[in-house]
Amino acid sequence: MGNIKKSLSENQTILLTMDSAEYNKIMINSIKSLSTGTVCYVTTNKTFDALKETFKKSKIIMKNIVFIDAISKTIKKTPSQKENVYYVSSPGALTELSLVIDKFLRHEFNYLIFDSITNLNIYNKTPICAKFMTSLINKIKKGKTKAIFYAIGSKENELINQVGTYVDKVISTN
């Protein structure tokens, strides 16, 4: 995978494809290297509570990280409100997710991590997900925030292929 921080210094948007077996290691390594800056972590994969637990075990300091959690409300109706986390109704609620990300991007975070684009396909068809991702990438490119998009799967995945054409760089670990 190399140094993700170095790759982001040369590219504003990166699509990082990986096997599911490598996911936890890559996720932890990338957040460790980026958490010295301000990070907006969008999760469609793991709940905020699960990520918090994983980050604590890995001794990741979370004071610079704000979360947009699109998965917790699909599991329990009203997750307890906590500092540094905003809950979206589901990964399928792309309009709601887009509006929340827009609000957060105005705060000019150093980094945005989107975990993961392939989870969007569970809730919406590929063309809808691709349109959402294209719009998000274009919004990011208008500002200074650097973004990394996780994708679990292979380059044969249609969504990964489409999103790969819009980002500055695709890094494949599989």
Does the structure show a pLDDT above 90 at 44?
Answer: yes
Does the structure show a pLDDT above 80 at 4?
Answer: yes
- The C-alpha atoms of residue 37 and residue 136 are separated, in whole angstroms, by 21
SS3 string, the chain, reads CCCHHHHHHHCCEEEEEECCCCHHHHHHHHHHHHCCCCEEEEECCCCHHHHHHHHHHCCCCCCCEEEEECCHHHHCCCCCCCCCEEECCCCCCHHHHHHHHHHHHCCCCCEEEEECHHHHHHHCCHHHHHHHHHHHHHHHHCCCCEEEEEEECCCCCHHHHHHHCCCCEEEECC
Q: Share the mean pLDDT of the chain.
A: 92
| pLDDT score for 77 | 72
| Torsion sign, CA atoms 11, 14, 16, 17 | negative
Does the structure show a pLDDT above 90 at 17?
Answer: yes
| pLDDT score for 142 | 94
> Are 19 and 157 spatial neighbours (Cβ–Cβ below 8 Å)?
no
Q: Over the stretch 59-102, which tens digit does the pLDDT of each residue have?
A: 998 999 999 999 999 988 766 677 899 999 999 999 999 999 99
Tokens at residue 17, please? 């494809």
Q: Over the stretch 100-125, which tens digit does the pLDDT of each residue have?
A: 999 999 998 999 999 999 999 999 99
Tokens at residue 165, please? 């054409």
The number of domains in the chain is 1
Q: Over the stretch 115-157, which tens digit does the pLDDT of each residue have?
A: 999 999 999 999 999 999 999 999 999 999 999 999 998 777 8
* 152: helix, strand or coil: strand
Structural domain for 31, as ranges:
4-172
- CATH number of the domain encompassing residue 137: 3.40.50.300
- The C-alpha atoms of residue 143 and residue 140 are separated, in whole angstroms, by 5
User: Residue 2 — very low, low, confident or very high, per pLDDT cuts 50/70/90?
Assistant: low
